[in-house]
Structure 1
Amino acid sequence: MRLTSFTDYGLRMLMRMASTPDRAVSTAELAQEFGLSRDHLTKIMQRLARGGIVVTRRGGGGGAVLARPAGDIRIGAVVRLLEEGQALVECFAPDGGDCTITGCCRLKARLRSAEAAFLADLDRSTLADIALPELEVTP
């Protein structure tokens, strides 16, 4: 299974945030630290906020913080949120894709099972398990 860069970057952001959970982090700071596009990270942060993973604040001293302790945030739940709308294969898309073998395909059920097992394995880990070592950060 391959995750989108959207999910990859979102996980990196959360791992970083979990290393300093009491400190708000801006997308500008994360973009500079990771060498990534601020606009792209802003979209990811918005999805994380809508999903209840982070809380954001605007203005001076603003930024984002985890909405709950890192030990309460399951990695599988984060991946589900960030991969929302990204079908593993075309036939998993809401419209069923444009597959010519639908109805006689014996692979689809196995792929669904593998995807469920992948996410179930990720559900065994929390953000606290994968948090980056605490970094020396200068504001």
Structure 2
Amino acid sequence: MRLKKYTDYALRVLIFTASKKQGTLANKKEISEVFNISENHLGKIIHELNKLGLIDTIRGRSGGIRLAKPAAEINVGQVVRAMEDDFHLLECFDRKTNYCVITPACKLKHVLNDALMAFLEVVDQYTLEDLLTNQEELQELMGIK
């Protein structure tokens, strides 16, 4: 299984934003530079995170982004589910596009579904705060002072 870059980048935006000193806003330009992600693409991700109520966006010259709630209240599993548009690991996971002739007898779909559920169960156990236990090291690597 592989998560989309969109999901990866959304998690990076949250980690970066949460790593800023309290009261300090993050901005799209600095996130773009740190992670080498286009500002246009980040704009879409930031917009989506704002719609989900995970970050607040502050407009204007001194604007930027900040977490909309404490890092301890942002569940990693919920972020992954919100950012991924499908978890169809195999053709047979989507009844509309499944043309595999062995689907009625195939056991593989059950094995992979169990694996997917286990993955989601694990990420559900973590919050954004859990990802920041090494905050000083993260700040150094991201150039946050």
TM bucket normalised to smaller? 0.7 to 0.9
**Stretches of 4+ aligned residues off by more than 4 angstroms:** none
* Cα distance in 1 between the residues matched to 2:25 and 2:99: 44
* Cα distance in 2 between the residues matched to 1:52 and 1:89: 31
Unaligned runs of 5+ in 1: none
Q: Which residue is equivalent to 1:23?
A: 24
* Cα distance in 2 between the residues matched to 1:93 and 1:49: 29
Q: Which residue is equivalent to 1:3?
A: 3
Task: Count the aligned residue pairs.
Answer: 138
* Cα distance in 1 between the residues matched to 2:112 and 2:79: 20
Aligned-pair RMSD on alpha carbons?
2.1
Match of 2:17, SS?
helix
The superposition leaves residues 62-106 of structure 1 with CA deviations (integer Å, 9 ceiling, x where unpaired) of 221111100111111111111123533333347344434333332
Q: Which residue is equivalent to 1:65?
A: 66
Q: Which residue is equivalent to 2:75?
A: 74
Q: Which residue is equivalent to 2:144?
A: 137
Unaligned runs of 5+ in 2: none
Conservation of the 8 A alpha-carbon contact between 2:16 and 2:26? no
